[in-house]
Each structure stands twice: as structure tokens, then as C-alpha cells.
Amino acid sequence: MIQSLIFGLEAKDRPRVGREIMRFNHRLADTGLFTDEALARLIDEHPRSELTVCTMQENPPPDQTWIAGEANGLSGAELVEAASRGALWISPRSAMTKNPRYKAVFDKVMGDFSKATGLRVLTADAAVLLSGAKMGIFFHVDPADTMLWHIRGTKTIHVYPPKQEHVTEQALEAILLKETLSDLPYRPEMEQDAVAVPLEPGEAVFWPQHSPHRVVNGPNLNVSVSVEFNTPRAALTNGVFYVNGVLRRRLGWAVRTRGTPAVLKPAYWAGAKALKVLSPPRHNVERAHVRQFDVDLSAPGCIRWREGFGPQALGEAA
Ligand SMILES: [Fe+2]
């Protein structure tokens, strides 16, 4: 029998899956797909237009925003080198589903994850993340269920309970209706409720849907896979948020989503499907940020600022 790529989840853990922060282990490094050489090849094979390239200050504060750049004219090997020694966060988006070699592994891991958790996965997508020392991901929430499989380096993910104090129903509606990106307002008091989960290579973490989170890397190159997927329960929940978001905006209804009886959720989900067809969201935020820099191996932090932009964008004290 082929060995499972997921381990560390036992049958007794199942009732907690999706309701609590769950840690488990994976064998992704054994596939050989996450070495420097393999990642260089992946980046060479990946459409450059689907590569996210960002920078930020070290140990980024939770409320910063992405500073986007471009990596034109550089090979995959050069970009892996830039991620290793620069101030960079690089991600071939959807690499785990678009690249056939990675998709074969992804399908196997998701199958193993379903078996281990008992969750039915309707759709799934995943990005490969390469990020340098002390880089991170700002405070945000994802609409779908999300988890992180960590492969190289060390990092800490801070997870916040999906309560109104941390992520309002209105904020989730706006994200689902595509009025805003997934960044959320942050207040330092939220740290009282945060759970810090340190991650070593081979460790993974799955948190309850709509839990805000942020990440700070250790002093080394980090390689991870960020997975977003939909289960029937997550899809039903998002259906309720979507419909109530439309009702609040169109009819001014003061609706409450959390606490909606489970028995009503399928009707909401059907309603959300119909609404998406009949009245598509009025807003559709532009995902492309202004490109402020180019990756340059000879520049400080491998960041060559474009005209009109500069390190002051990092928000560091002068
Ligand atoms: Fe996320």
C-alpha cells in the first residue's frame, strides 16, 4: 500500500476537525518537489503572469499592506536565490493544481487528508509559497477553508478566533461579494485571543473557517503550500453570508449570519447560487496592485525600486 502523505491525525480527533486549530504532519518533502532545483523548475514552467512577487519590512506588523513587484527576465533559479537572500515573498499561484507534476501529489495529499479527517472536499486549490527570512503574511481572513503545509524553514502562524470582535459579518460579506480584498482591520487588543502556532518542516495546521490569521517567518528561507478548499459545510456557511450581504445592501436588512440554524443553510446556499447568476456583485476589486519594484539580485534585499517608489513604502521608522 502506498504510504499516506498525511499523518498525525487520529480517528479520535475527527470531532475537532474544522472546529479547533488542528496540527498534523505531512511527507511533502519526500516527493522531491520542494528542493531549490525543483522549485526553480516549477517557476520556469509557471506562467510568469501568475507569479505573485511582494516585499515588506522584516517582521511585518499585522496591519501592513502588500507591496507588489515584478520578476521579469530572471530564471527560476535566480528567483529561488532572490527568495533565499532577499526581502521577498514569491508565490506561483495555483501551482499545486496547474502544474501536472505537483497536481499528482496534491490530489494524493488531499485524498489522504479527506481520509484522515472524514471531510468531503468539493473543490481545492493551492499555491506554493517561497518567502525570505522574517517575511510574512499580514492579518487577513480567507472565505474558504484554508490550511498551511509547511515544508522548509521555520515560521509562526497567529490564528484568531472567527468572532465578531476580530472579523465582522459585514467584513466577511464584503470579501465574499468581492467589494474588498481579504485584508482586515487590526487592533493590538486582538492578540489576547490569538493562538501562536510555530511550524517546523513537515508540520501542517488547519484552522476553523473564517479564522483571521497572519504569519511571521523565522530567520531562514521558508517554503510552504497554502491550501484553500471547500467542504459542504464551508460552502453552506458562505452561502448564508453571501445572501445576507445582498439583503443588507439592497434592502437595508439588519441581518445576523452567525447563529443561522443549520436547517436553513441549504436554502441560503441555493439562494446564493441564484443571486450570483441573477445579480452579480456590483463591485469587483482589482486584484493587481501597482508594481513598485523589480527583483534584482544586485540590489539591497534584491529589491530595485521603480521610479516614484522607494523603501519609505515599507513604513519602517527612518
Ligand atoms: Fe490566509
The DSSP result for 195-216, as a single string, is EEEEE-TTEEEE--TT--EEEE
What's the CA-to-centroid distance between 14 and ligand 1, angstroms?
23
pLDDT at 286: 44
What's the CA-to-centroid distance between 211 and ligand 1, angstroms?
9
What's the CA-to-centroid distance between 252 and ligand 1, angstroms?
30
- CA 98/CA 115 separation, integer angstroms: 23
Read off the DSSP letter of residue 31: G
What's the CA-to-centroid distance between 262 and ligand 1, angstroms?
26
What's the CA-to-centroid distance between 42 and ligand 1, angstroms?
22
What's the CA-to-centroid distance between 142 and ligand 1, angstroms?
5
Q: Using DSSP, state whether 281 is helix, strand or coil.
A: coil
What's the CA-to-centroid distance between 140 and ligand 1, angstroms?
6
What's the CA-to-centroid distance between 213 and ligand 1, angstroms?
6
Q: Provide CATH code, domain 6-168+190-230+283-312.
A: 2.60.120.650
pLDDT at 133: 97
pLDDT at 318: 37
What's the CA-to-centroid distance between 167 and ligand 1, angstroms?
13
Q: Torsions phi, psi of 293, nearest 5?
A: -155, 165
What's the CA-to-centroid distance between 159 and ligand 1, angstroms?
10
Report yes or no: 161 and 211 within 8 Å, Cβ to Cβ.
Answer: yes
What's the CA-to-centroid distance between 156 and ligand 1, angstroms?
13
- Sign of CA pseudo-dihedral 80, 85, 91, 97: positive
What's the CA-to-centroid distance between 1 and ligand 1, angstroms?
34
What's the CA-to-centroid distance between 185 and ligand 1, angstroms?
15
Q: Taking each helix axis from N to C terminus, what angle separates 169-176 and 232-251, rounded to the nearest 10 degrees?
A: 100
Q: Give the up-direction half-sphere exposure of residue 61: CA atoms within 13 A in the CB hemisphere.
A: 11
Q: Using DSSP, state whether 10 is helix, strand or coil.
A: coil
Residues forming a β-bridge with 310:
none
Cell matching residue 186: 487590526
pLDDT at 256: 73
What's the CA-to-centroid distance between 201 and ligand 1, angstroms?
19
- CA 32/CA 38 separation, integer angstroms: 7
Q: Where are the domains of the chain?
A: 6-168+190-230+283-312, 237-278
- CA 281/CA 249 separation, integer angstroms: 11
pLDDT at 317: 44
Low-confidence ranges of the chain (pLDDT < 50): 285-286, 317-318
Q: Over the stretch 216-275, which tens digit does the pLDDT of each residue have? A: 999 999 999 999 999 888 777 776 766 766 777 777 767 677 767 676 677 666 767 766
What's the CA-to-centroid distance between 226 and ligand 1, angstroms?
8
What's the CA-to-centroid distance between 120 and ligand 1, angstroms?
21
Q: Using DSSP, state whether 285 is helix, strand or coil.
A: coil
Q: For the chain, how big is the Rg over CA atoms in Å?
A: 20
Report yes or no: 50 and 30 within 8 Å, Cβ to Cβ.
Answer: no
Render 164-205 in DSSP notation, one character per residue: TTTS-HHHHHHHHTTSS-SB----GGGGGG-EEEEE-TTEEE
What's the CA-to-centroid distance between 248 and ligand 1, angstroms?
26
- CA 313/CA 311 separation, integer angstroms: 5
What's the CA-to-centroid distance between 146 and ligand 1, angstroms?
7
